[in-house]
Amino acid sequence: MDYSHVADNLRESFRTLAAARETGEVRELRGVSIASAGVVFQMFNAAFLSAPVASDGELTQRIALASLHFEKRGLEWAYWVCEDWLETRVRPRSRKLFDKHGLRHSVDLPGMVTEQLLPPTRRLPHFEVQRVCSAATRDAFCSIGSVCFNVPLSWFRQVFEPPGVWDHFQGYVGYAGSEAVSTAAVVVGNGVAGVYNVATTPGHQRQGYGEAIVRHALETTRREQGIERSVLQSTKAGYALYERMGYRTVTSVAVYSS
């Protein structure tokens, strides 16, 4: 059940962000987990399946529970669905069921796992990496994320600027000289290190900065917490890189947004 490590760590990462905000909310409903930061950026007002779904009726009920929660609060939101929670016969019809509740399919993300990173296949850049622990590093983390994920900077700051975020959401910023060029973050949960927010500014992409900062972040986690197994959800752009690093796909995460 490797997929459970992906699903559980993803949920933990959102709980960490939600718990750090006064407007945040973490709740367990029947078969549904809510981890909502209470922000404008709908992807971080999130619902997750927390138990297997055996029928269309069950899935409809889980969607309705989450919909009611966010409608009462007047929030735009997203459902992050690890598809291995869905019985095989439910999956072909799941997209239509979400659509009936006003949830548009946004993206499918391969959920990937590795027990141990493979050695690099190329020479990686040597650059300074700082852990996010100050206003300057928070600003850099948010600015890079805003550019690379095409999200307004004010939205990104709403999610990541509260200092309490960084108690458990271990963020890193890489610098080429004095310029901040890449980010990564690690969340430890369910016995694995989850990799998130991997981004490199457009002018420094395809030069190894993303791989280098991910390796730095995971090596720091291994050294400090003794955890080597790691998980992530890949974009299309990063998939080949993660395969070279030793990751294998074990599930798919579908994202639906209101």
The predicted structure's pLDDT at residue 161: 87
β partners of residue 107:
255
**Tens of pLDDT, residue by residue, the chain (258 residues):** 579 999 999 999 999 999 999 999 999 999 999 999 999 999 999 999 999 999 999 999 999 999 999 999 999 999 999 999 999 999 999 999 999 999 999 999 999 999 999 999 999 999 999 999 999 999 999 999 999 999 999 999 999 989 899 999 999 999 999 999 999 999 999 899 999 999 999 999 999 999 999 999 999 999 999 999 999 999 988 999 999 999 999 999 999 999
Torsion of CA 146, 147, 151, 152, to 10 degrees: 70
The predicted structure's pLDDT at residue 15: 97
The predicted structure's pLDDT at residue 186: 98
The predicted structure's pLDDT at residue 80: 98
Place of tokens 């709980």: 15
The predicted structure's pLDDT at residue 2: 78
Backbone angles phi, psi at 36, to 5 degrees: -115, 125
From the list 93, 92, 3, 1, the residue with the least C-alpha distance to 48 is: 3
Question: Assign residue 162 a region: left if phi > 0, alpha if psi is -120 to 50, beta otherwise?
Answer: beta
**Segments making up each domain of the chain, as ranges:** 2-110, 128-251
Backbone angles phi, psi at 110, to 5 degrees: -60, 130
The predicted structure's pLDDT at residue 184: 98
The predicted structure's pLDDT at residue 132: 97
Fold of 128-251: Aminopeptidase (3.40.630)
Place of tokens 């959102």: 14
Residues in contact with 257: Cβ distance below 8 Å, sequence separation at least 6, in sequence order: 42, 43, 76, 77, 78, 79, 103, 104, 106
